Structure 1
C-alpha cells in the first residue's frame, strides 16, 4: 500500500466518477482504476461495490476513505512545515464559538507579537477537530469535550439558551416548559453531532413530535435558519447577541435552563512545546479580554 493509492481512492470516494477523478489527479482513467485495484489487492478487501447500480463504497471502503483523508491531511501539514523556511507554522483547532469570538483577536496578536510564527486555523465541531488531532494535523485544539491540558489552563464559558424569531413564539405562554418547547418547530444539529446532546431530552423522539424538525450541520447555518424563521433552537447566545439586542431574534424564557458550553484547550503537541506555550498564553489573554468586553453571555475562568 502506498500514498498514491490512498490519494486516488480518497478522491474517487469524494467525486464518485473515475474520469473526473483522473482529471483531478492529472492521470488517465485506467491509471486510477489500476491504483484502486492495487489498493484492494494490498488490503485484501473489496472497497467498491461494483454490483451497485451507482457508485457505492463497501463498509470497508468507507473506513478506508476516512483513513485516507487523515493521511492527506498529515501530508499537507508535513509539507507546509518542511517547505516554509521563513516561518514556523502551527495548526490551531478552534471549536466554532471560540473561532467567532476571541479567535480573530488571537490571530491579530500573533501577527503583531510573534511574526515568526504562522498560525493556521481549523474551525469545526469537536468531532471534526478530534479527527484532525488523531491524524496528527493539529498542534493544539480548543474544544468543548475532552481532558483539559495543563498550564496556562483556562475556560471560556458560553451561556446556552433557546432562541427564535419573535413571531415563532408569539401568543404562547412564557416561560416555556420542555413540553411546550417540544411543540415548536425546532432547528437542530444532526443527531450524530455532539451538539445534539444538550437538547436530546427536549426532543425525545419516543414522545410525540407535533412540529417539524429541521437540521443544520454548522453554527452559521443554524443561526441563519433562525433568522429566516425556520423555528427555535438552543445554542450559544453569543453567536446571536446582536440579533437579540436589535430585536430580530429573542431569547425564549424557559423553566429549565441548559448547561453552558465550556471551551478549553484539550490537545497540545508536546514536541513543539515552546511555540505552543506562546500561543496558549496569548490565547488566555485575548479570551480573558474578549469575555470582559462581552459579559452578557460569556465568562472567563482561569485555571481550567
Structure 2
C-alpha cells in the first residue's frame, strides 16, 4: 500500500467518477483504476461495490476513505511546516459552534496581533476531530467531549432550544411534550454528534418515527435546513439569533429541555507549547468577546 493509491481512492470516493478523478490527479482513467485495484489487492478488501447501480463504497471502503483523508491531511501539515520558513503554521480544530461564533474573531486577532503565525482551521464533528488528533494533524482542538486542557481552562456555553419556522408549527399547542415533538418533521444530528444522544433521549427516537426525519452532515447544513423549513430542530440558539429576533424562526416552548452545549479546549500540542500558548490566549479573549456581545444565548465560563 502506498500514498498514491490512497490519494487516488480518496478523490474517487469524493468525486465518484473515474474520468473526473483522473483529471483531478493529472492521470489517465486506466491509471486511476489500476491504483484502486492494487489498493484492494494490498488490503485484501473490496472497497467499491461494483454491483451497485451507481457508484457506492462498501463498508470497508468508507472506513478506508476516512483513513485516506487523515493521510492526506497529515502530508499537507508536514509539507506546510517543513517548507514555509518565513511563517509559523498552526492547525486548530473547531467544533461547529466555535467555528460559527468566536472563530472569525480569533482569525482576525491573529492577523492583527500575531502576523507571523498562520492558523489553519478544521471545522468538523468531535469524532472527526479526534481522528485528526490521532493522525497528528491538529495543534489545538475545541470540542464538546474529552478531557479539558488545564492551561486552557475556559468554556463557551451555548443554550440549546427547539426551533422551527412559524408556518411549521402554526396552530400547534405549546408547550410541546416529547410526544408532540415526535409528531413533527425533525432535522436531527448525525449519530456521531455529541448532541445526538441528548436529543434522541428526549424524543425517544428509538421508537417508531411518525413524521419525517432529516439529517444534516454539518451544523451549518442543519441550520440551513431549519431555515428552509425541513423541520423543527434542537440547536444552539446563538446560530439563529438574528432569525429569532426578527421572527423568521421561533423558539418552541417544551416540557423537557435539552442541556446546554459546552465547548472547551480538549487538545494542545505540547511539542509546540510556545506557539500554542499564544493562540490559546487569543482564543480565550475571542470567546469572551463573543459571549460579551451575545449574552442572550451564550456564556463564557472561566475554569473547567
State the TM-score, normalizing by the size of structure 1. Answer: 0.91
Q: Does 1:96 align with 2:96?
A: yes
Aligned ranges 1:161-172 → 2 under 5 Å: 161-172=161-172
Structure 1 contact 126–194 (Cα < 8 Å) conserved: yes
**Any stretches of 5+ residues in structure 1 without a counterpart?**
none
Residue in 2 that maps onto 1:303: 303
Structure 1 residue 229: Cα displacement: 2.6
Gaps in structure 2 of 5+ consecutive residues? none
Name the CA distance, whole Å, in 2 between partners of 1:64 and 1:212.
31
Match of 1:189 in 2: 189
State the distance in 2 between where 1:187 and 1:57 align. 26
**SS of the residue aligned with 1:187?**
strand
Deviation at 1:245, TM superposition (A): 1.1
In the alignment of these two chains, the number of paired residues is 304
Please name the residue that 1:250 is paired with.
250
Query: For the residues of structure 1 that align with 2:148 and 2:52, how far apart are their CA atoms?
Result: 46
Change (3 A) 1:14 1:167: closer
Query: By how many angstroms is 1:121 displaced?
Result: 1.1
2:154 is the alignment partner of 1:154: yes
What SS class does the counterpart of residue 157 from structure 1 fall into?
strand
Taking the aligned partners of 2:43 and 2:298, their CA distance within structure 1 comes to 50
CA shift at 1:157, angstroms?
A: 0.4
Q: CA deviation at 1:226?
A: 2.4
Distance across 2 between alignment mates of 1:177 and 1:54 = 42
Q: CA deviation at 1:42?
A: 3.4
Counterparts of residues 261-280 of structure 1 (less than 5 Å): 261-280=261-280
Q: Is 2:28 the counterpart of 1:5?
A: no
Q: Which residue of 1 aligns with 2:64?
A: 64
Distance 2:11 2:100 in 1: 31
Say if 1:164 and 1:231, in contact at 8 Å, map to a contact too: yes
Q: Distance in 1 between matches of 2:283 and 2:5?
A: 40
Aligned pairs for 1:35-114 within 5 A: 35-50=35-50, 55-114=55-114
Partners of 2:249 and 2:79 lie apart in 1 by 45
Cα distance in 1 for partners of 2:5, 2:42 equals 10
Q: Which runs of 4+ in 1 moved over 6 A?
A: none
Query: Do structure 1's residue 260 and structure 2's residue 273 form an aligned pair?
Result: no
C-alpha distance in 2 between matches for 1:273 and 1:294: 31
Instruction: Quote the offset at 1:170 in angstroms.
Output: 2.6
Is 1:182–1:202's contact at 8 Å kept on the other side of the alignment? no
Residues 61 and 173 (structure 1), Cα distance of their counterparts in 2 relative to 1, 3 Å cut? closer
2:142 paired residue number: 142
Distance 1:285 1:40, change over 3 A: same
CA distance in 1: counterparts of 2:180 and 2:244, whole angstroms: 21
